[in-house]
Structure 1
């Protein structure tokens, strides 16, 4: 049976990896490890189809070490023993262990000494957060790297390579793909290169040649192949971003009907990850402290939508959209952190005051660290007048509370009370 295109197009060396420049780019950690031949076991975590297996395969190809693949959920301890024996006989083996978050204690106990000896370089792959789902004993023996969704440009580049590659790709077929079809294929899969390549292969192999012997891939063919509709009226390719922008601006402007309209466009296009991400941003950026419970409701709605999938996912999403659109609005926290970041990026930071510095290590007292710090819980109102900002920023104000919601109105009252206490302390 012919292997899928996504399998055939896996990178053979680190130079062929698409995306993940923060890990495999020039001077970055995984490339440095490969070049120095100083590999250590690692865990790669991120969404499906973002290159976890590809990176493992490329590391093996670049180092010429043996490469084996197992699944922590379905492969047995005996399978691990076979890999360990191979490593003992022939040297280092790179083991890609998929779904590592499902590794049971028996397999873990067997694997740990081999990781410590370096005979097996394990590359664990998972879509789960390893800091939550993976046993500390494994975490302490590995480095953890996040793998991110690929950009549209990176996916487009990969698709074009696959269409040209006569050895591993689809170069033996004479294919013409419309620009908007290629764009939709790169967008509809939401950063999942495996899904994009699978969609391309299906489109090519299920489309008949025309009278000129050419396989013509139109937008309609690609939509059918990936089972995602493109946004309508997308003549210049900008409708995708225009609709997302319009959704956020409609919610920000408290127009619930417009918000539902633009959300419906994204729902019809099947863009659950994009819609979910945007609603989370809106909840914290535009509603913020005016109605903090809106963010909690949005998170719950997104979690429900992800479990349900379309078409039912539209129901919790609609609840979140109506709630966000009709909530009071505040961007005070968002603008406050940006103002603080602006100072830091301009080099306007200053020294941490001595009385706030860590005083838990030997010799800290002799350096004046932590001396004269006053513990607020020892004072009335759980507050005491002392300086917290560096000297050069001690009068700087970042947070300007608004009064568009009850919660932030209460925060403003507390802020004003503290200012009153400060003024009284200076008199």
Structure 2
């Protein structure tokens, strides 16, 4: 058996061997044609681990025939970069694949960037983090395109597994390893779009299989056991994690219960209960808001229960909270209103607090004119409680409305009260 892992051996050697990603590097794309015509542009490849960034860089190198070097920004030092710069001077042009490019420090950049700019080094950077957030603008500006790679489909992964099973030189072809169509589909599904996971799992299954009559046969229970042990991709600080949080909130906001539960499940598998709980609380007040005021306390209770229970039991109260929010009436009027008030302050729309609203709990307040406040509770108005017609906003802002009710759920009743009180009010511009 080979010393290198199967996932390493099966990396494509040319663009025509790339599985998936045909939308940006397939034979009909501009990038494919440029490379085959001898022009390789600097670029950034952005996507999840195992999605094919390194494989594509290798394939580009194999198709371009440029001298190829690979560095990882977390381990490379200034000397490594200087060596490649020197090679570029000798060869005229080299291709550099820089993995984890978002970790590139300023000293490395200062050494490399002038040579990327003059074209002697063609840079292919790879990152799992959003390049607009985490990659230095100086690097981004020198890379003509940023390609966001999509997760491979099950069909792509099946094609990759079949290719590995058939390949006599780099794959498992010469070992007479047989898998049924159903077994291949199970492996492909477990890989969840990750080519590296698929090939690593395939190799593990091979080693756990038995040889029968000259043929290696994998037992179903072995495949099911190993497939179930594949972890969900994601970490607590990466871009994918924040994308999951965003997808959860947008699914709840869109009242899609099943999508929201899917993203909640993914987040809980990653294991950051604190971040998930915090986001759920925000959503209760940002997206459900005044349309269903009881939702906030309900979600808080669910979050507190989850914190006491811990995972895996925490999934139960949190699922309750997510389903309730999905199916609740929704209003964002509160966040829109407070953001409008904050924006007004930033725009300089301020004024003096009316004298009758200022603190008067001290001797001398009357001498300063802090008088005239009318206590609303002394003037009942129907079943509402108490209300008096007096000015609360500064003179410069009288008549300004930050709050615009959403006619939904419980807020419909509140909107009626709001409009009624406005009709009583005489302090308008």
TM-score above 0.5, yes or no? yes
Rounded to whole Å, the distance in 1 between the matches of 2:413 and 2:218 is 57
2:318 equivalent to 1:320: yes
Among 181, 185, 189, the residue aligned to 2:183: 181
The offset of 1:43, in angstroms, is: 1.2
Does 1:55 find its partner at 2:89?
no
Tell me if structure 2 keeps the 8 A contact 1:96–1:124. yes
| Match 1:197 to one of 189, 196, 199 | 199
Distance 1:319 1:71, change over 3 A: farther
Displacement after TM superposition at 1:159 (Å)? 0.2
3-state SS in 2 of match to 1:95:
strand
- Backbone CA RMSD of aligned residues: 4.8
- The CA deviation at 1:91 is 2.5
User: Larger deviation: 215-224 or 68-77?
Assistant: 215-224
Partners of 1:288 and 1:329 within 8 A in 2 = no
What is the Cα deviation at residue 271 of structure 1?
9.7
Q: How has the CA–CA distance of structure 1 residues 331 and 127 changed in structure 2, closer, same or farther, with 3 Å as cutoff? A: farther
Aligned to 2:70: 69
Deviation at 1:191, TM superposition (A): 0.8
Instruction: Please give the alpha-carbon distance, in whole angstroms, between the structure 1 residues aligned to 2:9 and 2:413.
Output: 59
State the alpha-carbon separation in 2 of the partners of residues 152 and 128 from structure 1: 24
The superposition leaves residues 133-177 of structure 1 with CA deviations (integer Å, 9 ceiling, x where unpaired) of 111111111121111110111001100000000011100111221
How far the C-alpha of 1:322 sits from its partner, in A, is 1.7
Aligned position for 1:5: 6
Is the 1:41–1:121 Cα contact (8 Å) retained in structure 2? yes
The alignment's TM-score, normalised by the length of structure 1, stands at 0.62
Residues 141 and 320 (structure 1), Cα distance of their counterparts in 2 relative to 1, 3 Å cut: farther
Classify 1:288/1:38 alpha carbon distance in 2 versus 1 (closer, same or farther; 3 Å): farther
Aligned mates of 1:178, 1:402 — CA distance in 2: 57
| Structure 2 CA distance for partners of 1:214 and 1:39, relative to 1, 3 Å | same
> What CA deviation, in whole Å up to 9, does each residue of 1:182-205 have, x standing for no partner?
122111121110011011011112
Contact 2:49 2:128 in 1 (8 A): yes
Partner of 1:85: 86
Unaligned runs of 5+ in 2: 232-250, 274-279, 332-395, 421-429
**Residues 110-131 of structure 1: CA deviation (Å, up to 9, x unaligned):** 0110100111111111111111
Aligned position for 1:23: 24
Mapping for residues 130-279 of structure 1, pairs under 5 Å: 130-142=131-143, 143-210=145-212, 212-228=213-229, 272=269
Q: Give the whole-Å Cα distance in 2 for the aligned partners of 1:413 and 1:26.
A: 62
Q: How many residues align?
A: 318
Give the 3 Å change call, closer, same or farther, for CA 69–22 of structure 1 in structure 2. same
Query: Equivalent residue for 1:235?
Result: none
Partners of 1:132 and 1:69 in 2: how far apart?
Answer: 23
Task: List runs of 5+ in structure 1 lacking aligned partners.
Answer: 231-247, 277-281, 306-310, 334-376, 384-400, 418-427
Residue 65 (structure 1) shift: 0.9
Instruction: Give me the TM-score of the superposition, normalised by structure 2.
Output: 0.61
- Tell whether the 8 Å contact from 2:256 to 2:326 is kept in structure 1 after alignment: no
Provide the residue aligned with 1:38 in structure 2: 39
CA distance in 2 between counterparts of 1:263 and 1:31 reads 35
1:119 matched to 2:107: no
Partners of 1:288 and 1:331 within 8 A in 2: no
Bigger Cα Rg: 2
Q: Distance in 1 between matches of 2:312 and 2:116?
A: 46
Aligned CA distance change for structure 1 residues 222 and 402 (closer, same or farther; 3 Å): farther
Candidates 383, 387, 403, aligned match of 2:408:
403
Shift of 1:319: 4.3
Q: Secondary structure of the equivalent of 1:43?
A: strand
1:82-111 per-position Cα deviation (integer Å, ceiling 9, x unaligned): 111111111321111111111111001101
- Structural mapping, 1:102-117, within 5 Å: 102-117=103-118
Compared with structure 1, are the counterparts of its residues 409 and 55 closer, same or farther at alpha carbon in structure 2 (3 Å cutoff)? farther
